[in-house]
Amino acid sequence: MFIKYTNYSDDVHYFNLSKEVKKLGLKKPFTGDANLACKMDKSNSQIIFTCNLSVDTYLTCDRCGEKFNRVLSTKFVVTYLFSKVSITENSLDVFYLSPDKDVIDLSDTVKEYCMLILPMKVLCKENCKGLCSHCGTNLNYSQCSCEKDRIDSVWEPLLKLKDKLN
C-alpha cells in the first residue's frame, strides 16, 4: 500500500487502497483483501492520513463453536512529519519522513490495525446462547432436555461448607 506523496499538491486528497491479506503477512482468521479508504491532508510540514480500514474474517464463536464470516472495520489517523535529517525513531502513529524518500508505505500500519480490531471475545451474534454444558446441544438452534438446576457432585463439599457458614 504505497503512496507517492510527491505526486500530490498541498491540499486534501481522497483515495482507496486494497491489498490481499496474504501479501500483508496476515493469516487466519483474515481472508480476502484489506480495504483502506484514506483522506490525505498534505501541507508543507506534514501529511495526515485519516483512514477507514475494513477486512474480511472467518471466525469461530467462543460460545457455540460455529464458524462465520464477518467484516471488521476501524478508523485510525497516522501523521508523517517532514524532517531534514533522517530520523529512525517513530512513535505510535507519528512517523518522520526523510528528504530522500518520496513514497509512504502504509502496509505495516494496516497490518497492525488489522490485528488490533480482532475482538477479544468472538461471538457469532451478540445474544449467542452457547452450548449446553451437559449434553453439548447448540442452544441457538434447539433446547436440550437437561436438568437446569442439576449441581455437579464436585461442588457438594463447598455447598455443605456454605450451609455451615450461614
Tell the burial category of 132 from Cβ atoms under 10 Å away from its Cβ (0-12, 13-18, 19+). middle
Clarify whether residues 88 and 161 are in a common domain.
no
Q: Quick check: 56 and 71 in contact, CB under 8 A?
A: yes
Residues 76 and 28 in one domain: yes
**What are the DSSP calls for 72-91, one per residue?**
EEEEEEEEEEE-SS-----B
Q: Is residue 112 located within the same domain as residue 48? A: yes
Coil, helix or strand for 111?
Answer: helix
Q: What are phi and psi of 135, to 5 degrees?
A: -110, -15
The pLDDT, as a whole number, for residue 58 is 95
Residue numbers of the domain that contains 116: 2-128
This prediction has a pTM of 0.75
H-type helices in 69-140, by residue range? 107-116
- Whether residue 30 is found in the same domain as residue 101: yes
Reading the chain (166 residues) residue by residue, the pLDDT tens digits are 888 888 888 899 999 999 999 998 899 899 999 999 999 999 888 899 999 999 999 999 999 999 999 999 999 999 988 876 555 555 667 888 877 788 888 888 899 999 999 999 999 999 999 888 888 888 888 888 887 666 777 888 888 888 888 7
In this structure, the answer to whether residues 96 and 155 fall within a common structural domain is: no
**Count of domains observed in the chain:** 2
